[in-house]
Amino acid sequence: MIRSFGGKMPKIHPEAFVSEAAYVVGDVEIGAGSSVWPGAVIRGESRIVIGRNTCVQDNTTIHADGNGARIGDNVVMGHNVLCHADIVGDNVTIANGATVSNGCEIEAGAVIGAGAVLVDNTKVRAKAIMLGVPAKERGDVSPEQQERFRRTAEHYAELGRQYKAEGGLE
């Protein structure tokens, strides 16, 4: 469902795919090639901008307080992610079941591991790997990992195009 809130209607690029089983509301902008999968919730009482070729997988929730949120290009948000970040840079991967709390800022190319919890106001440097509860830095993303995550973002952009081309129920 796509609906307005507070006089703001989501702006979804014509080349983006949003599942009919997702809930996108309010001051939300979704860029070209991005995909939002079943069960995902993007709730924009504050402005949320999602870049190009970013995938928001099944049952993920994105919500922002105060100043809103900026989610970059080529971001992969796995299944069941809870994201309250202020900033998620380009080429970031947030793996299945991770929690990113209020005020977090994640620089480009970083990886938040499956089930990891970033506590409020955590700053994650570019290309860092964050694991655990609470999440701690565990090293750097390797070039091979960067390539794998790049391919994942491309795969979901293509999958979104396929789903969009098939349409929904009439």
Summarised one tens digit per residue, pLDDT across range 84-114 is 999 999 999 999 999 999 999 999 999 999 9
| pLDDT reported for residue 66 | 83
To the nearest whole number, what is the mean pLDDT of the chain?
95
What confidence tens digit (pLDDT) does each residue in 40-75 have? 999 999 999 999 999 999 999 999 888 899 999 999
Sorting pLDDT into bands at 50, 70 and 90, what band is 167?
A: confident
The larger pLDDT score, comparing residue 47 to residue 170, is at: 47
Strands 23-30 and 35-36: unpaired
- Residue 132: HSE in the Cβ half-sphere, 13 Å Cα cutoff: 8
Q: Tell me the fold of 2-166.
A: UDP N-Acetylglucosamine Acyltransferase; domain 1 (2.160.10)
Query: Does the predicted TM-score (pTM) go above 0.85?
Result: yes
Q: Where are the domains of the chain?
A: 2-166
Per the CB < 8 A criterion, the answer to whether 112 and 92 are in contact is yes
Longest dimension (CA), the chain: 49
What is d(CA 123, CA 120) in angstroms, rounded to the nearest whole number?
Answer: 9
